[in-house]
Structure 1
Amino acid sequence: MSASRDRDDFTYEQQNDRRLDELHSKIRSLRSVTTDIYDEAERGNTHLDETINTFASFRSSLSQSANRAARALGIRGNISQYRMILYIVGGIVGLWVLWTIFSWLWWRGPAH
């Protein structure tokens, strides 16, 4: 009976060792996935920070350009910066529309 019990204990010990190895393997996989997620989050945060800095720089540059344009046009503080930007963008869009219309008429040619 003692030999049977020793054999059962040995079998249980082997099963425990296999399950422990499986558990270690799963933990390594989980650690690898967690590390990958962390690295991706860090890359995302870095990219987001760079994007925020780019937009802040663009906003500052646009603000300085609008102020210079207002000074060049002799506009004092009675017009808002955003309105000035809107006028400039509207003017560019208007010129583009006129250019498109005239080029369409030019290529179409006179009707015969």
Structure 2
Amino acid sequence: MASSVSESTYESQNDARLDQLHSKLQTLRGVTTDIYDDAERQNRMLDDTNDTFSSFTASLSHSSRRAVHAFGLSSTGGVRQTRIIAYVVGGFLLLWMVWNTRGFWWGSTKGGV
């Protein structure tokens, strides 16, 4: 009889431990599934980002080729480089003149009345 009671006690302890282990395994499986789902989401996001940057790179490359052709920096001709330099210098001179004559247009900006 004593052996039957101890076997029953051991059996109930084993069942309790088995239930605890089953609960831990379910938790671990849930965590593993969550990690996998998160990794998949991040991979999709990285793929989308890669596609976006690839598209941007292609667009930028196309724009730069058109700019090179438009400004005559390619070997096929177009506007000469000296003309571009003259436009840039002229633009800076124009900005400088506007900056220095702003008092005429907007009134005096120096010292207060």
Counterpart in the other structure of 1:27: 25
**RMSD of aligned C-alpha atoms?**
2.5
Question: What residue is the counterpart of 1:110 in the other structure?
Answer: 110
Q: Distance in 1 between matches of 2:110 and 2:41?
A: 59
Output the amino acid matched with 1:28. Answer: Q
Higher relative contact order (CA 8 A, sep 6+): 1
How far does residue 57 in structure 1 lie from its aligned partner after superposition?
Answer: 0.6
- Matched to 1:110, the amino acid is K
Provide the identity percentage: 50
TM-score, normalised to structure 2, is 0.68
Query: What is the number of equivalent residue pairs in this alignment?
Result: 86
> Does the residue aligned with 1:64 lie in a helix, a strand or coil?
helix
The correspondence of residues 17-96 of structure 1 with structure 2, limited to 5 A, is 17-77=15-75
Aligned counterpart in structure 1 of residue 9 of structure 2, from 8, 11, 34? 11
Q: What is the deviation of 1:74?
A: 1.5
Q: Which has the higher helix share?
A: 1
Q: CA deviation at 1:109?
A: 2.6
Distance 1:34 1:45 in 2: 16
Alpha-carbon displacement from aligned partner over 1:28-86 (angstroms, at most 9, x marks no partner): 00000000000000000100111011111101100100101111112115xxxxxxxxx
Q: Which amino acid in structure 2 is aligned with residue 9 of structure 1?
A: E
TM-score scaled by length of structure 1: 0.69
Gap regions ≥5 residues in structure 2: 76-87
